[in-house]
Amino acid sequence: MEEDFDAYNDDNEHEASLSRFEKMLELNEQYFFDVTEYEDVIDYYLENSQPEKAEEAIKISLNQHPTSTSLKLKKAQLLATIHKPNKALEILNTIEKLEPFNQDIFLIKANIHSQLRAHNKAIENYYKALKLTTEHSEKVNIKINIAFEYENLGQFDKAIQIIKKLLLENPENETVLYELAFCYNLKDDKKGSISFFEKFVDDYPYNFSAWYNLGIAYTRAELYEKAIDAYDFSIAIKEDFASAYFNKANALTHLEKYKEAIKTYRETFNYEDPDSTTYYYIGECYEKLEEHQKAFYNYQKATKLDPFYADAWAGSAVINEGENKNEAAVFYIKKAIELEDNNSEYWYIYGDILAKMGLVGEALIAYLKVVDLDEENENIWIDIAEVSSEYESLEKGILYLYEGLENQPDNYLIYARLVAYLLKSGKENEAIQNLIIILTNNSVEDLDFIISELTDYYPNLLNHSKIIELIENFNH
């Protein structure tokens, strides 16, 4: 109770200082504040993104207390905040000559160097601050920041070494535990992450965060059954751990256990407010189960919670297209595109809907937008050619396929479709030339797939004896 009372008094004093300072500005008068009061006022403005007021407070405070180191440090902090790092460093270097044992100088310098991406200099200053620090919690924070800088340098082993030492000191430190998991992820060391967390839960079996991070490590390694077990252990220790339910549901979807995943996603609502992302994933599960109305309902729930959730609008479009509600589908996909007009998948869906409606010109514009945004998309040129050949002419479709090959010369599925179109148009010799390109540039396994795609699309291939003979000769 005494601590609470002290905190209450501190808050009141801070508010009083702020109120008195703003009154002084309003009345254009001069009041006296001690250094601590000015620090409180400046911190408030900095923390609430009011740099102009912070600058004014610093100017007035230094007029009253021109020798105050702490106020000069606040000025350096402000300069760093308003993107004047070199001026901030000038002030800090001057103060350092006068007070070489002031840890705050080195902490602020480290932060500025980090912003400038001079990570080695940041590390150097963090270590200087560390030597001057006596409080344990501050030392831990500095060491975590040093690990961050090593991560930024891509020196993950050094970061991991620091974080592991911190965990030895305090295995219950969740922040450190999560940072270690993140570091393993940055390093893309799935095996190392699993190995560490398996041993850690052996040593500390009641640490729910460790089980959770082990689940994440298993998920990244696509060991979904093991991931589910790990999340279950985490939930058994901390029943209200919503994130563990959510990640468990994700793992269940990878195993195509969609009904169980839906139930698990819904468990999160018992422990946290309903979330748009969760509703979206529930919608995806229902879509996989072909329960389209339930999928649509959940996509709409997601958009009501977050009108800017583009994927949920796109999901709503796909459901409506599947039910031949094309006008509604267009409405929803346009909403998605308005939110993310550089998303090639949305333009692809839009093109498919327009093509289905017979709006060929608009569909081709949408498809060509996909090409602009995702030139590596393997299917787009085939769809462009198909729409063009169906609604315009086979010759136009052939031209689009050749254009596709200029952009993707190694896409042999385009070659396969081109062979079919050329045979359809009676250009057998030209078809043979392109078939030879397919046959001479692919392995046996790839050839089986490509030829299968060709014959599925164009069964009349079997009526062309020269084509069959050519394929058989290559098979031998």
The span from the CA of 268 to the CA of 277, in Å, is 11
In angstroms, the CA 72 to CA 88 distance is: 10
Whether 433 is covered by a domain: the verdict is: no
The label of the residue with tokens 């219950």 reads 172
Decide which of 12 and 393 is more confident. Answer: 393
Residue 44 lies in a domain: yes
pLDDT mean across residues, the chain: 91
On whether residue 30 sits in a domain, the answer given is yes
Instruction: Please state, in angstroms and rounded to a whole number, the distance separating the CA atoms of residues 418 and 431.
Output: 7
Tell me the pTM.
Answer: 0.79
- The number of distinct structural domains making up the chain is 1
* Side chain identity, residue 154: G
**Residues 240-272 pLDDT 10s:** 999 999 999 999 999 999 999 999 999 999 999
Which of 7-16, 142-151, 307-316, 402-411 holds the top average pLDDT? Answer: 307-316
In whole angstroms, give the CA distance from residue 416 to residue 409: 12
The amino acid sitting at 422 is L
Residue 35 lies in a domain: yes
Average pLDDT over residues 286-314: 97
**Structural domain of 12:** 1-82
Which residues, at least 6 apart from 167, have a Cβ–Cβ distance to it below 8 Å?
Answer: 173, 176, 177, 180, 200
pLDDT above 70 covers a percentage of the chain that reads 97
CB atoms within 10 A of CB 144: 18
pLDDT of residue 11 exceeding 90, the answer is: no
d(CA 292, CA 312): 14
For residue 32, being part of any structural domain is answered with yes
Position with higher pLDDT, 441 vs 245: 245
Q: Does 125 reside within a domain?
A: no
Sole residue written with tokens 């408030």 = 44
* Nearest-angstrom CA–CA distance, 126 and 112: 11
Listed residue (405, 429, 406) closest to 416, CA to CA? 405
Task: Tell me which H or E stretch contains 204.
Answer: none
Q: At residue 474, does pLDDT exceed 80?
A: no
Is the CB of residue 140 less than 8 Å from the CB of residue 152? no
Using one digit for the tens of pLDDT, what is the confidence trace for 344-367? 999 999 999 999 999 999 999 999
In a domain, 39, yes or no: yes
pLDDT in tens, 132-175: 998 988 999 999 999 999 999 999 999 999 999 999 889 989 98
Q: Does the pLDDT at position 227 exceed 70?
A: yes
- Summarize pLDDT for 148-160 with one digit per residue, the tens: 999 999 999 999 9
297: which 2 tokens? 């309902």
User: pLDDT digits over 39-69, tens only?
Assistant: 888 889 888 889 888 888 889 888 889 888 8
Q: How many residues does the chain have?
A: 476
Task: Kindly state whether residue 347 falls inside one of the protein's structural domains.
Answer: no
**74 near 58, Cβ under 8 Å?**
yes
pLDDT given at position 81: 87
> Which is nearest to 185 in space by CA: 208, 161, 151, 227?
151
